[in-house]
Amino acid sequence: MQLDRVKAVISGGASGLGLATATRLAAAGGQVALLDVQDEPGRKAAAKVGAAASYHRCDVTSEADVDAAVRAAAERMGGLNVSVSCAGVATPGKLLGKDGPLPVAAFQRVLAINTLGTFLLDRAAAAIMQNNAPGEDGERGLLIHTASVAAFEGQIGQVAYATSKAAVAGMVLPLARELARFGIRVVGVAPGIFGTPMMAGLPQDAQDSLGRQVPFPPRLGRPEEYAELVAAIVTNRMLNGETIRIDGAIRMAPK
pLDDT at 198: 75
Name which of 45, 143, 125, 14 is nearest 77 in CA terms: 125
DSSP 45-81: HHHHH-TTEEEEE--TT-HHHHHHHHHHHHHHHT---
Q: Specify whether the CB–CB gap between 143 and 125 falls below 8 A.
A: yes
pLDDT at 207: 82
pLDDT at 204: 84
The C-alpha atoms of residue 218 and residue 135 are separated, in whole angstroms, by: 40
Q: Is the omega angle on the peptide bond into residue 92 within 30 degrees of 0, that is, cis?
A: no
pLDDT at 203: 77
Strand-pair category, 141-146 with 100-101:
unpaired
Name which of 194, 172, 181, 159 is nearest 244 in CA terms: 172
Q: Specify whether the CB–CB gap between 187 and 239 falls below 8 A.
A: yes
Q: pLDDT tens across 99-127, in order? A: 999 999 999 999 999 999 999 999 999 99
Q: Identify the DSSP state of 218.
A: -
pLDDT at 209: 82
Low-confidence ranges of the chain (pLDDT < 50): none
226 exposure class (CB count in 10 Å sphere: 0-12, 13-18, 19+):
buried
Catalytic residues, which ones?
161
Region for residue 248 given its phi and psi (left: phi exceeds 0; alpha: psi -120 to 50; beta: otherwise): left
pLDDT at 4: 98
pLDDT at 200: 76
pLDDT at 199: 79
Phi, psi of 68 (to 5 degrees): -65, -45
The answer to whether the predicted template modeling score (pTM) of the entire model surpasses 0.85 is yes
77: Cβ contacts below 8 Å, ≥ 6 apart: 7, 31, 33, 54
3-state class of 191 per DSSP? Answer: strand
